[in-house]
Amino acid sequence: MIAKLFIDTNIMMDLLGERIPHYDAAAKIATLADKGKVKIIVAAFSYPTIYYLLSKFENPEKVKEKLRKFKIISEISDLDEIVIEKGLASSFIDFEDALQYHCALKADCDILITRNAKDFKGASIPVMSCEEFLYSLKNK
């Protein structure tokens, strides 16, 4: 069975913004998705967030092209009324993290990939960094 990885906005930003030192591990996961070895899912609201942040430093058309290419290797978990209600009712300190988490659950993801695992305490699915996930593949 192919693992369904939910990619938090910070990981998407690491990849598309080529942020060092986090880019390499994020790129390895993207390559796994491109080869069909994993599925990556992101929250719908990550797209405008990434566009807004990257377009401050890059040409907006170039940013759109990056998002188009990323869309080819990823799936989108919608932000809907149910996810918002669950996020509002959750015990998460950060509302955006709550929405990320509930988008991951809605998409039946196996693992949530983030650089901020501490923000997802009490999650019912494993929470890992890119590096931790890649290391787990080596030990299978």
Q: Is 21 helix (H, G, I), strand (E, B) or coil?
A: coil
Q: How confident is the model at residue 140 (pLDDT cuts 50, 70, 90)?
A: low
Q: What is the pLDDT of residues 53-103, one digit of tens each?
A: 999 999 999 999 999 999 999 999 999 999 999 999 999 999 999 999 999
Per DSSP, 115 falls in state: S
* pLDDT computed for residue 139 by the predictor: 76
Domain ranges within the chain, ordered by starting residue: 3-138
Residue 40: DSSP 8-state: E
Q: Which of 72, 14, 78, 68 is nearest to 44 (CA)?
A: 78
Reported pTM: 0.94
CATH H-level superfamily of 3-138: 5'-nuclease (3.40.50.1010)
Contacts of 118 (CB under 8 A, 6+ apart): none
What sections of the chain are H helices per DSSP?
Answer: 9-16, 23-34, 46-54, 60-73, 81-89, 95-106, 130-138
